[in-house]
Structure 1
Amino acid sequence: PCPPDAGMAAAEASTGGGLAAFVSGKNMKVFAAAVSAIAKIGKDLYLDASEDGMMLRALNGSNSVYLAVLFTRGFFTHFEAPSVRDGSPSVRCKVQVKAMQPVLTGIRSVESTRIALAKSGVTSYIIFQHQCSSGAVKTHALMYEDTEVFAAVYDRAQASHNFVVSCRTLDTALEHLGVPQEVFVQASDAGIEFRAHHFGPALGGKAAFREDLAHKAHVEASVSIRADDLERVCVSDTAPGVGSDEDGRPTASFVTTLSEMRAMLEFCRAPAVDIGHLSFYFDSEDGAPILVTSERNEDLGIVVDQVMATIADEDAAGGAPPRDGTSAAPAERTALAAAAEHDDGTPARGPESKRPRPAGH
């Protein structure tokens, strides 16, 4: 929703929110790709800004997936945000993702964009003003709510296992899995294996992963990436929940949803973005969350972090499918153990009554 024309003029004249960000046309395409990825995670987009840059965040309805995209100061042609003493973001606002759609329409002709905050009476707006190649100026004013900042707390230094894979290699591998709801991932010194089952309607896509299911209405898809094709793979043989493969190598595994992982990967692979590698940090304990991150890249000026819950299955030791040939009860998705937390350390309220549990950062 936009203010009246007169109100718009007043709003633009009183952009006293302290935020002044200018984005080149090329980087506005990156911004649009980030919003598209956010839209696949949650209905609300949380935007906060500080002296370090601007952050877009989203949390899905079940508090099981958190996505954050940081645009550092180098991403902008000009960037100003009010400074605060405690280092917390000085700008904190929430808008509906669907309200962003008109802002991102026709950005191919945009040469630069100004992002600012404004007030018209008691209503607050975030202003997107596009300077187009035709000379036209398009201005969008979206009402926003002031909000508290939340973040998924995950200490990668404490993760038992990790691997680094190129986005192109990962994208190629996941293409072979089709569209299952969940995917089993296993890491060892030999490489990474992704495995998916395509279940019939009777199982509702929630059956646990088993090598020999009593139910026959499924097709298994499996793809492996050799260690030579990875940038790094590290599996701790002393961590809880570690298994072993047929050659006695230690293995660490988890089960998580595939659609949200693909949403992040699609953003990283977008032509305007082209992030090279993703790092996975995880523990092999049943139900422990995982972190997928692009790491910090000053050349790109963006950092992408995604924390995802994993599927807990009490019947599977170490998260790996047992070999007893029995069918399993439906696996349950855990809430994020590395969960949403306000910047003051208190748990953030999720859309449901169940609150995620804070973890040390």
Structure 2
Amino acid sequence: MTVFLEANPFASRLHVLAPLVSGAVAAGHRSVVVVPQRPDGTDWSTFMEEVPESVEIIVVEHVRVAPGVMVNRKELLALLSVARRVFRRVHRKFLVFTAIDDYLSKMLWVALFVRAWFQNVRVIAFRYRVDDLVLGTRFDVRIFAKQALFWFVRLLARPEWVIFDERVPLEEGMHIVPDPWSGPFESGRRERSREALGWRRDDDIILLVGRQDARKGIDVAVEALDILQRHKPSMKVVLIGQVAVEYASYQHKLARNLGDRFVHVEHYVTDSDLATYFSASSVVLLPYHSNFTATSGVLVRAAASGTPVVGSSHGLIGWRIRHYSLGETFEYPLYQTLADQILRVLDAPFEESRALAFADLSTPESLASRFEQILASESGGNARSAG
């Protein structure tokens, strides 16, 4: 049996959870998902469509976690208590923490209970933010503190780490897995997509996706686009998502400088429509702030669409852009360099084969297969996904 503890079941986490559960079922495990109740109600319909019918979901009703709020120690312990009851009279047991980063400080205290309650259980913990494990990461007090926390959790709870970052050097009890994406994103649709959106075949279309704030680097992007329009006076900029109030002036600047060549889509966009925008665009921008060192779902969806990106050179995003030839990078916050790199991408043909190969490595099916291998492997081993 495998019990998945998902302490924050919002949509993007369920998107990762589905292939993990499918992989466990494929390995012959009865699978149970233990989650807190969300006051806004979690939509499980898509998740249930993607996993076998045998999967059981246990909603712990007395643990209520609001959107954007992480579980506290008491709530985490309540979820573990349910998992403990589920495991009774089961011989082969696996307990999976699907995102231990979300409650790391609480986990330091709860780890003592994990060690006492789950002595004959193989504990597996997924980690999303792994700056402390990446060689060459600049020294930072926060990273050092996180290293210490993870060290103590590992000492007390003895979990195996499962990581989505292929830069990390493997150690005993560590596994590298694909970082999954899903949706109708595919290459070879540019002409059809542009026709559907009413754009010309030779338009230069620059795409920004997601809520724009300091983390997304909208200030740097707008300054770069202001420079770029001197070289590409007919370019269009498409922004899908809302803009943080404190950065509204940058949105107004785009509208003022570009007029009807600035398209702002604030309403909800379906995956199907989003795929159309991705495939119709000439380049996707990812000018993340230097404090953000993880990756982005936008990156892999752009790759699956055969669309190049220009992103910040630091962190996992920068590494993947360079390693898989997904476009160009710039040193944040140098907006002149960003403008130069956008121009370089617009004026050069893009070889999409490596981008498509990268996207193929990261499908939900790849993650399910890899997780099935982890469950079948001997405890404490380590392995890396293909690619």
TM-score (norm 1): 0.27
More strand by share: 1
More helix by share: 2
TM-score (norm 2): 0.25
Higher relative contact order, chain-length normalized (CA < 8 Å, sep 6+): 1
